[in-house]
Structure 1
């Protein structure tokens, strides 16, 4: 009996301490986000202060926003860069879009690579490998197809590339779009994802995602090139992990990565969230314990029970206050990341926020009990440690 009581109090103390740490993370994210994001980009004196950059742009298929998204790469205010488009299939409809932009902007150095290489199970690495091998400059920017750039985005990223920094990446966010799915995505990336990203960058923890990332090519070359990471689906995490192990720092730039895919819906986005959760579980098994507890509804219930046991607090009142304050902190953080008026009203935010918070634990449970990943038309199985193999393998890794 005494052992059971001690065990209950032990769990209660653990939950309450974890709950307190989560509030500390909220504060770090809000203050660090205000300090770090959306800084004015200062021009360095002389074009020779800016190194040449090779932009690797892997594409597959097209969507209503592809033309306008890609065009932002042709209109950047940066002295020296090249755009290397990577398309796996010679019949891919994105080729016509690329050729039309090449004809429209003949002064921009551009190359189109059709047909990937088989260097691993990662489709993105396979698609980019030939372009990477042909890149001309000392810095590589890998940018997903749905990313939009501002005129000074490259300058902003380069300004954060210090002598000890090996990777500068953009924190994922979204452009303003219409509909509930767009609201759902913006709330996720501006709250739960932003909190994790900002705290990790502040504490110098690997939080790298490969949506938009600038890297030193020579460091990659010393590691064997990008093909070295072809056996991972989460190649971005392992690239950053290896850079850090070699003594290099990673940093986020002040401008978030503006995702602007023209095809989006709730189901597709939840599939992305589930896929990312599966990758985190495979790479960092402790995520199974700590990630669910970082969810508002889960840790609120656990902390409410702990407070009732330790301090005789009313658990329902505790839970409601906890949820309200968490909601307010998320609104503040989203406003900081947005850096302007939000494209939806407070009622839309309440609905989207509640949907995100209530569905988060459910999606994580799905991810834990199914380690298969479907990526476009291909399916993979994840092994502990992050390595992957294709269910119907075309190559061995």
Structure 2
């Protein structure tokens, strides 16, 4: 056999092994989802085990139609001791009016407002939160994005997972029920692609942390300089999680997913988020350039179909169609597990949203690789290998 034939067989074996590995990821995600998500909270009496106080950092910028309701859920949580630290960069931001209104409506809730931020790095989120972080009263810090909607027992659920060996408890990203195809598209992505990797990684104790909603121990962060030490990165959530795991701490996912409930829901803006996240992953872990596109259903199915035809002389078209059907069915099952209730759309919408998600993601990833600049609101950044960011002067597109 010639070297070309050996090379072809080598690629075929690699594709089949990778294909099998992705099915293992599917199964692990379903097992982890069934085992861990939506557990009933068993609350220990406070006189037996007092609950720790929590300082909740809420970085805010701008107003959307759902923001008032989302923020209000933080004032109505069933948790004995916590404080709300609202962080606003610009003193002319209209969000200040909403915060003041809520603080007046719930005067019994310990809430403070920090305006102006502090430039400790290139990351605007950390700059916005720095003053509040330094002023936090409690040992546990919660970082929560503006679009997150809480249940009354969400904070209790998260603190229940904060054991002596755990330094970070994070919620798996998901979305609240909203109307429209764009909302269905987002829910399908977070309930299939994102949940699959997130749940499997948590089961295998691999760092996949996203900072939408996370509960952290402040002391281990302060040992390396606090949040400001990660201001050189845009993906600060990944790097402070890595800092904790590198020093022997564990991170874990809580049983309640993070309910994103932004009032602005558009296909184009969400696809821009997907591209931004892809750019961050490529800069942090360069091997993502090879393995992430290959993990996509359609591309992996095509490669595995060719490999099965070469190695086993199976019909490649039949193999490909069965592959897509099984992937589709497992994604539907995982979404139902994560949703834990009726979906806000029918099966036809799921088929359309799933197909659009699977078809467009390889294209969005290719665009992300070809255009390394990251636009974050009104700022533009360039990433270096290793994830370090620098702000650049560039024209911002609106």
TM-score range with shorter-chain normalisation? Answer: over 0.9
Residue of structure 2 in register with 1:219 after alignment: 220
Please list the CA deviations of residues 360-379 of structure 1 after superposition, one character each: whole Å capped at 9, or x if unmatched. Answer: 10011011111100000000
Please list the CA deviations of residues 19-59 of structure 1 after superposition, one character each: whole Å capped at 9, or x if unmatched. Answer: 01111110110111110100001112116521000000000
Residue of structure 2 in register with 1:199 after alignment: 200
Matches within 5 A, 1:344-363: 344-363=345-364
Residue of structure 1 in register with 2:374 after alignment: 373
Which residues of structure 2 form unaligned runs of 5+?
Answer: none
Residue of structure 2 in register with 1:87 after alignment: 88
Q: Secondary structure at the match of 1:140?
A: strand
Tell me how far apart the structure 2 counterparts of residues 315 and 307 of structure 1 sit (CA, whole Å). Answer: 7
Please list the CA deviations of residues 189-216 of structure 1 after superposition, one character each: whole Å capped at 9, or x if unmatched. Answer: 0000000000100000001000000000
Tell me how far apart the structure 2 counterparts of residues 324 and 392 of structure 1 sit (CA, whole Å). Answer: 47
Please list the CA deviations of residues 101-132 of structure 1 after superposition, one character each: whole Å capped at 9, or x if unmatched. Answer: 00000000000001010000000000000000
Calculate the TM-score normalised by the size of structure 2.
0.98
Tell me how far apart the structure 2 counterparts of residues 17 and 121 of structure 1 sit (CA, whole Å). Answer: 41
Q: Secondary structure at the match of 1:191?
A: helix
**Structure 1 stretches of 4+ moved >4 Å:** none
Which deviates more from structure 2 when the two are superposed, residues 364-373 or residues 228-237? 364-373
Residue of structure 2 in register with 1:26 after alignment: 26
Q: Secondary structure at the match of 1:380?
A: strand
Residue of structure 1 in register with 2:8 after alignment: 8
Residue of structure 2 in register with 1:320 after alignment: 321
Tell me how far apart the structure 1 counterparts of residues 330 and 155 of structure 2 sit (CA, whole Å). Answer: 31
Matches within 5 A, 1:72-221: 72-221=73-222
Tell me how far apart the structure 2 counterparts of residues 142 and 208 of structure 1 sit (CA, whole Å). Answer: 12
- State yes or no: 1:257 paired with 2:291: no
Q: Matched residue pairs, number?
A: 393
Residue of structure 1 in register with 2:37 after alignment: 37
Tell me how far apart the structure 2 counterparts of residues 278 and 332 of structure 1 sit (CA, whole Å). Answer: 29
Tell me how far apart the structure 2 counterparts of residues 266 and 290 of structure 1 sit (CA, whole Å). Answer: 25
Q: Secondary structure at the match of 2:299?
A: helix
Please list the CA deviations of residues 251-284 of structure 1 after superposition, one character each: whole Å capped at 9, or x if unmatched. Answer: 0000000000001100000000000000000000
Residue of structure 1 in register with 2:390 after alignment: 389
Tell me how far apart the structure 2 counterparts of residues 371 and 220 of structure 1 sit (CA, whole Å). Answer: 30
Which residues of structure 1 form unaligned runs of 5+?
Answer: none
Tell me how far apart the structure 2 counterparts of residues 386 and 330 of structure 1 sit (CA, whole Å). Answer: 31
Residue of structure 2 in register with 1:247 after alignment: 248
User: Could you tell me how far 1:392 is from its partner in structure 2?
Assistant: 3.0
Matches within 5 A, 1:225-304: 225-304=226-305
Please list the CA deviations of residues 171-204 of structure 1 after superposition, one character each: whole Å capped at 9, or x if unmatched. Answer: 0000000111101100000000000000100000
CA RMSD of aligned residues (A): 0.9
Q: Secondary structure at the match of 2:382?
A: strand
Tell me how far apart the structure 1 counterparts of residues 322 and 173 of structure 2 sit (CA, whole Å). Answer: 30
Tell me how far apart the structure 1 counterparts of residues 149 and 221 of structure 2 sit (CA, whole Å). Answer: 25
Tell me how far apart the structure 2 counterparts of residues 133 and 16 of structure 1 sit (CA, whole Å). Answer: 51
Q: Secondary structure at the match of 1:5?
A: helix
